[in-house]
């Protein structure tokens, strides 16, 4: 089939751009094998097959580009499979360059399209990018040698206000020249009682788990059993750090610990009154 396409469209012998992808949002407790396979297929198997076929046909490619997503480095609740699929594209681009082949993974942000019609992005770290803004950047990226590149309209103020991101060395070069950095809120310095701190943590968890007013948060359950994945936990960790100045270890995402265990750890050095 690919031989026929190559004969009909000679441009395939010089350039490949992999654009396929499927999004199927689900929290960890609702994810099943079929959904994960469905999301991984177009990106993982699709890109890998293109990689193999281009070698089998001995194509001398000027570019082998794949459309990844900003959800890889920034995360997105409910999209564990999608983040994993895009991370594979990033790794494949680096792998291809490592064996002397062309490879580029473009981590795209929200792009002007039907996918984002009607979405309110005003409170998010990633704003919409128009075709007029994005296409010149995409064309420029195709001419460079860096295997993974970000093309996204980032709100630097909101990015810097996220304690998880602002404290991550990976983003240091991005935020270092940001004029808003001196206006980022500092970590909480107020001395909280255990009761107040617990209330703040519970409020954070309820918001992230999107519980309604009448829905109960089962504190004796683990975070994972309530549907929280590693991305949502990173957000919770950042919010707790900002709210009460306590950094919660990743181990509390394990099924071995309940939410009460995590709250007890966070409040252990606080006074009762």
User: Do 135 and 210 reside in the same domain of the chain?
Assistant: no
Residue 54, both tokens: 């281009």
pLDDT digits (tens, 9 = 90+) for 5-22: 656 655 555 778 899 988
- For residue range 233-272, what is the model confidence (pLDDT) as tens digits? 878 888 888 888 888 887 788 888 899 999 999 998 888 7
- Long-range contacts formed by 21-27: CB under 8 A, 24+ apart: 21/67, 21/69, 21/82, 21/85, 23/79, 23/82, 24/81, 24/82, 25/78, 25/79, 25/82, 26/78, 26/81, 27/77, 27/78, 27/227, 27/228, 27/229, 27/232
Q: How much is the pLDDT for 182?
A: 46
What is the 8-class DSSP label of residue 43?
A: I
In a domain, 23, yes or no: yes
**Residue 88 — very low, low, confident or very high, per pLDDT cuts 50/70/90?**
very high
Domain that includes residue 243, residue range? 194-267
Give a yes or no: residue 68 inside a domain: yes
Q: Which among 75, 123, 31, 69 is positioned nearest to 238, based on CA atoms?
A: 75
Residue 125 lies in a domain: yes
Condensed to tens digits (0 to 9), the pLDDT of residues 175-213 reads 755 544 444 444 444 557 889 999 999 999 998 888 888
Task: Classify residue 182: in a domain, yes or no.
Answer: no
Domain total in the chain = 2
Q: Which of these, 84, 53, 79, lies nearest to 68 by C-alpha position?
A: 84
User: Average pLDDT in the 154-181 region?
Assistant: 69
- Which tokens in the block code for residue 240? 């707790």
For residue 97, what are its two tokens? Answer: 């360059």
> Are residue 103 and residue 152 in the same domain, yes or no?
yes
Does residue 89 share a domain with residue 216? no
| Chain segment 98-138, per-residue pLDDT in tens | 999 999 999 998 887 776 666 777 777 888 888 888 899 98
User: What is the model's pLDDT at position 180?
Assistant: 47
Name the average pLDDT for the chain: 82
* φ, ψ (nearest 5 deg) of residue 104: -150, 130
Rg (CA), the chain: 22
Q: Are 240 and 205 in contact (CB under 8 A)?
A: no
132 in the same domain as 220? no
Within a domain: 233: yes
């Amino acid at each position: 089939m690919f031989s026929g396409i190559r004969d009909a469209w000679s441009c395939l012998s010089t350039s490949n751009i992999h654009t396929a992808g499927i999004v199927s949002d689900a929290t960890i407790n609702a994810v099943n094998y079929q959904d994960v396979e469905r999301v991984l297929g177009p990106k993982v198997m699709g890109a890998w097959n293109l990689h193999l076929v281009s070698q089998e046909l001995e194509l001398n490619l000027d570019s082998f580009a794949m459309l990844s997503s900003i959800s890889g480095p920034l995360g997105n609740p409910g999209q564990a499979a999608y983040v994993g699929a895009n991370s594979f594209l990033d790794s494949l681009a680096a792998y291809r360059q490592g064996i002397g082949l062309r490879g580029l993974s473009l981590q795209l942000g929200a792009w002007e399209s039907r996918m984002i019609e009607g979405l309110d992005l005003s409170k998010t770290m990633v704003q919409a990018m128009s075709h007029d803004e994005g296409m010149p950047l995409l064309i420029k990226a195709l001419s460079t040698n860096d295997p993974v590149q970000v093309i996204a309209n980032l709100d630097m103020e909101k990015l810097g206000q996220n304690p998880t991101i602002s404290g991550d060395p990976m983003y240091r070069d991005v935020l270092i020249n940001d004029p808003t950095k001196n206006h980022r809120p500092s970590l909480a310095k107020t001395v909280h009682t255990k009761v107040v701190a617990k209330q703040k943590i519970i409020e954070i968890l309820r918001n992230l788990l999107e519980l309604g007013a009448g829905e109960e948060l089962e504190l004796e359950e683990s975070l994972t059993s309530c549907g929280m994945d590693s991305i949502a936990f990173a957000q919770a960790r950042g919010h707790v750090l900002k709210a009460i100045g306590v950094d919660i270890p990743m181990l509390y995402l394990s099924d071995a610990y309940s939410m009460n265990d995590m709250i007890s750890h966070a409040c252990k050095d606080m006074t009762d009154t």
